[in-house]
Amino acid sequence: MTQLTAPDGTPASRLTFGAMQFGGTADADNSRAMFDACRGAGITHFDTANLYTEGRSETLLADMIKPQRDSLVIATKVAFAGGAGRINILEQFDVSRQRLQLDMVDLLYIHCFDPDTPLEETIDTMAHLQAQGAIRYIGLSNFAAWQVMKAQAIAARFDTRIDVIQPMYNLVKRQAEVEIIPMCVDQNIEVVPYSPLGGGLLTGKYASGGTGRLSTDDRYATRYGLPWMHKCAADLAALAADMNVSPATLAVAWAAAHPARPRPIISARSVAQLQPSLDAEGFEMTPELYERITALSQTPPPATDRLDDL
């Protein structure tokens, strides 16, 4: 499997910090405090994107990483808007590099699959950036397994490969287990999944009457609106209470404990909100507890849809 490392050889941490809220729901002071807390916890992998908070995420992150840049893995994403054509990728990446104050970014993702652009053009552009030394690793986010494999075949023609993918993955969104994660194991691709807390559902706050993205954002309300998902979250919260730990700690630790050794992306608005996720770094997830938590959720059917094969 691809071994993500910083320029000086420092390995990527087991957890990844996502700076999606920097300059948005997290102001500059809270963003800085979370970065410092992450570094104190040993996190070396930081993830952002060209479109996050209209560029403020990359701009704020730039000043934080500067003193220790060579020992960090810095990832950003392009082509969520405007398509994954060569011109758009290069233009957005140039803007991201300016904001991050970096000539080279360790990991660049294509943010989502673009059905209107030949994949050869997209991968050729990424291979060109890699050959120039502008990026070290090639990543894909929100791609289906067949799209990744098509990209991998194309990448081989350009003498490179897909190194990392970023799918959604958490206790109530386990579709990645069906084809994406097994594909990554087979292809030696790193898995850096987002939303280990299910948009906040798995923190337990909604079960206790709290509010958040699921109550204010229609997309998240739809994504996590099924009754069984809310029951799973309530059951996880009850288990966490019995263990005297945060449900968020269990949710992140569970996502990280998959045999494929993914590197879940954690995020928050403040250090207080982030701390339970950070605590997953040192949490001991025994095989018995892993199976117990897994049983709270619905296991997706296999790719063949033959339930008798489970």
The 10s digit of each residue's pLDDT in 188-210 is 999 999 999 999 999 988 877 77
Amino acid at 237: A
Q: Which two tokens stand for residue 203?
A: 């923190």
Check if 52 is active-site.
Answer: yes
Q: Where are the domains of the chain?
A: 1-166
* pLDDT (average), residues 229-244: 97
Pick the catalytic residue: 52, 109, 194, 220? 52
In this predicted structure, the answer to whether residue 308 has a pLDDT above a threshold of 90 is: no
Look at residue 5 in the predicted model and tell me its pLDDT: 98
CATH of domain 1-166: 3.20.20.100
pLDDT band of 310, cuts 50, 70, 90:
low
CA 69, distance to chain mean position in Å, is: 20
Amino acid at 25: T
pLDDT band of 1, cuts 50, 70, 90:
low
pLDDT digits (tens, 9 = 90+) for 180-190: 999 999 999 99
Are 47 and 265 in contact, with CB atoms under 8 Å apart?
yes
* pLDDT (average), residues 287-302: 97
SS (H, E, C) the chain: CCCCECCCCCECCCCEEECCCECCCECHHHHHHHHHHHHHCCCCEEECCCCHHHHHHHHHHHHHHHHHHHHCEEEEEECCCCCCCHHHHHHHHHHHHHHHCCCCEEEEEECCCCCCCCHHHHHHHHHHHHHHCCEEEEEEECCCHHHHHHHHHHHHHCCCCCCEEECECECCECHHHCCHHHHHHHHCCEECCECCCHHHHHHCCCCCCCCCHHHHCHHHHHHCCCHHHHHHHHHHHHHHHHHCCCHHHHHHHHHHCCCCCCCCEECCCCHHHHHHHHHHHHCCCCHHHHHHHHCCCCCCCCCCCCHHHC
Q: Which pTM does this prediction carry? A: 0.96
- 67: exposed, middle or buried (Cβ count in 10 Å: 0-12, 13-18, 19+): exposed
